[in-house]
Amino acid sequence: MRILLDECLDENLRQGFAGHECHTCRYAGLKGLANGELLAAAEQAGYDVLITVDKNMPHQQNLRDRGISVIVLDGRSTGFDDLVILMPDVLTAVDALQPGQLLRIGSR
């Protein structure tokens, strides 16, 4: 599974995706793109999943007919310590996601 971490996430989270190919937006050359542009570019680059903390993305973007899925992390904060505890649920979800699917994972 090819996973892209949105630039609003701590880059150290990529270490939690053993067995998957995980890149940051900076590494993939996709930094600074607006949500719609980012989804299109990530999909074109062959990513299967975009992981973000942007809770507005599901309301702003239509994922229907997209080849990429989105996971929105909803931690107590956007800090590494509050997001890393969500990783077991994220890893389970990544393996079950279908293209065009949106999933929220949170501790609240």
pLDDT of residue 59: 72
Report the alpha-carbon distance of residue 25 to residue 52 in Å, rounded.
11
Domains of the chain are 2-106 (3.40.50)
- Tracing tokens 């995980």 back to the chain, one arrives at 22
In the prediction, which pLDDT does 61 show?
74
Any alpha helices (H) in the chain, and if so which ranges?
A: 25-28, 35-44, 57-60, 80-84, 87-96
Query: In terms of residues, how long is the chain?
Result: 108
> What phi and psi values does residue 64 have, to the nearest 5 degrees?
-60, 135
pLDDT score of 62:
75
pLDDT per residue, tens digit, the chain (108 aa), is 999 999 989 999 999 998 999 999 999 999 999 888 999 999 999 999 999 998 887 777 777 888 999 999 999 999 999 999 999 999 999 989 999 999 999 965
Q: Which helix (H) or strand (E) holds 50?
A: strand 49-52
The answer to whether 97 and 47 have CB atoms below 8 angstroms apart is no
Q: Which residues pair with 22 in a beta bridge?
A: 3
